[in-house]
């Protein structure tokens, strides 16, 4: 009988405490930190942005590996202390603080979140992506990527491309289609909409407005518009079609078979059926707000759909970005509660009384060693030096 086993890098003990796993990853992360500390000092060495990049790209992934498995263990005080020990040193290096600076101050000035909260974040996101209900989302269904197993075999996939058009002259040279469909998406005042403007060789013959909930993104609106354009083409009798969109990201998603966004997958399936109907369809990227007649009309319709539509949404799946934002707000609230009720960082709280506001503000400030000394009260001050028996008098004596 064994007290513990290691499975896919996770150490599992017989009581499922995951104490040994946390200890292992902390030792591994500490080894990386020790190498980092040799190249980072208060007054010289690695740039704080470089240290933060190393932390985000190396140390954090080590500690967050398989977080969804052991996330409940992060609520235990002993585990939190182990994670805090690792993070405190890195946070001090990022903001160039003295070793006596508390974790609360260092985290605020470094602009990084407590590790135990990051563990819970990673676990919550993993669960949300797999359909586990979250109270903050209500009855909203999270947008899931399509299964790669259900995708067509690579041998059956057709190569999809789009043509970029920079000005009206290039658009005119590529307008010899029986039907041209201009698509666009818009988000105004938190409201989202999409639209199609359908033209023949002379003028607009039909328009279509699409509504999306306020939590959806412009990216989703652009993809929905392109997808709906392919549905329209399937139902028409003409033989040549041109679809014009000003969203490079949406077109790249549609033409990349590795992207499994549900709207992109449906669009590619529609394109396959269109080719089976012996219809010719060409995708075009056009420059936004460049005075192109069809694009301006689609933009006008999309804005009207966003601000004035009261019908049932044409697409209402909740994007992962909204889920991440919801989880992050919960994390920030918990961090702010700890920060404001904690007994440390009294000097830092004079400058940054609120951790959430500090998290947004600190990125705009160029933090150096002198600034950190002022924000923390730990530095070349008479009162601080007197505390550590480096100066006889805590007062500032002029001329000395």
Tell me the per-residue pLDDT of 61-97, one tens digit each, with 9 for 90 and over.
999 999 999 999 999 999 999 999 999 988 998 888 9
274: helix, coil or strand?
helix
Q: Closest by alpha carbon to 148, among 267, 260, 269, 261?
A: 260
For 326-338, the DSSP string reads HHHHHHHHHHHHH
Write down the pLDDT at residue 400: 52
Cα 358 from Cα 348, distance rounded (Å): 10
Burial letters 122-160, b for 16+ CB under 10 A, else e: bbbbeebeeeeebeebeebebbeebeeeebeeeeeeeee
How much is the pLDDT for 297? 92
Quick one: which of 331, 399, 333, 345 has its CA closest to 375? 345
Q: What is the pLDDT of residue 69?
A: 93
Residue ranges in the chain modelled with pLDDT below 50? none
- Report the predicted TM-score, pTM, of the whole model to 2 decimal places: 0.81
pLDDT value, residue 121: 93
Helix (H) / strand (E) element for 79: namely helix 77-94
With CA atoms as reference, report the closest residue to 156 among 272, 282, 280: 272
CA nearest to 254, candidates 236, 233, 228, 287:
228
Alpha carbons 9 and 64: distance in angstroms, whole number:
12
Q: Which domains does the chain have, with CATH numbers?
A: 4-132+324-387 (no CATH), 151-317 (3.30.420.10)
Phi, then psi, of 395 in degrees rounded to 5? -85, 160
What 3-state DSSP class applies to 38?
coil
Q: Encode pLDDT of 191-221 as tens digits.
A: 999 999 999 888 889 999 999 999 999 999 9
């Amino acid at each position: 009988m064994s007290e513990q086993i290691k499975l896919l890098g996770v150490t599992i003990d017989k009581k499922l405490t995951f104490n040994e796993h946390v200890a292992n990853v902390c030792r591994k992360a500490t080894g990386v930190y020790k190498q980092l500390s040799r190249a980072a000092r208060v007054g010289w060495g690695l740039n704080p942005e470089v240290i933060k990049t190393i932390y985000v790209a190396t140390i954090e992934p080590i500690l967050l590996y398989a977080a969804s498995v052991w996330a409940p263990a992060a609520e235990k005080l002993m585990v939190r202390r182990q994670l805090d020990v690792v993070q405190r040193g890195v946070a001090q290096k990022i903001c160039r603080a003295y070793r006596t600076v508390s974790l609360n101050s260092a985290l605020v000035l470094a602009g990084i979140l407590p590790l135990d909260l990051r563990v819970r974040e990673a676990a919550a996101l993993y669960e949300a992506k797999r359909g586990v209900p979250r109270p903050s989302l209500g009855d909203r269904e999270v947008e899931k990527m399509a299964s790669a197993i259900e995708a067509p075999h690579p041998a059956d996939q057709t190569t999809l491309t789009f043509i970029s058009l920079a000005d009206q002259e290039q658009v005119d040279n590529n307008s010899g289609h029986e039907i041209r469909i201009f698509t666009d998406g818009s988000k105004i005042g938190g409201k989202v909409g999409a639209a199609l403007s359908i033209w023949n060789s002379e003028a607009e013959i039909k328009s279509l407005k699409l509504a999306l909930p306020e939590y959806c993104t412009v990216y989703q609106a652009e993809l929905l518009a392109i997808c709906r354009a392919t549905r329209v083409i399937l139902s028409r009798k003409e033989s040549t079609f041109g679809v014009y969109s000003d969203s490079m990201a949406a077109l790249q998603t549609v033409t990349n078979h590795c992207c499994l966004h549900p709207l992109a997958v449906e669009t590619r399936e529609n394109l396959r059926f269109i080719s089976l109907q012996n219809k010719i369809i060409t995708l075009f990227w056009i420059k936004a707000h460049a005075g192109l007649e069809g694009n301006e009309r689609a933009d006008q319709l999309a804005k009207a759909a966003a601000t004035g539509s009261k019908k049932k949404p044409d697409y209402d799946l909740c994007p992962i970005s909204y889920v991440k934002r919801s989880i992050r707000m919960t994390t920030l609230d918990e961090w702010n509660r700890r920060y404001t009720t904690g007994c440390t960082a009294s000097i830092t709280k004079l400058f940054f009384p609120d951790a959430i506001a500090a998290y947004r503000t600190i990125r705009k400030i160029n933090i150096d060693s002198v600034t950190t000394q002022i924000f923390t009260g730990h530095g070349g001050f008479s009162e601080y030096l007197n505390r550590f028996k480096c100066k006889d008098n805590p007062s500032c004596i002029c001329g000395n």
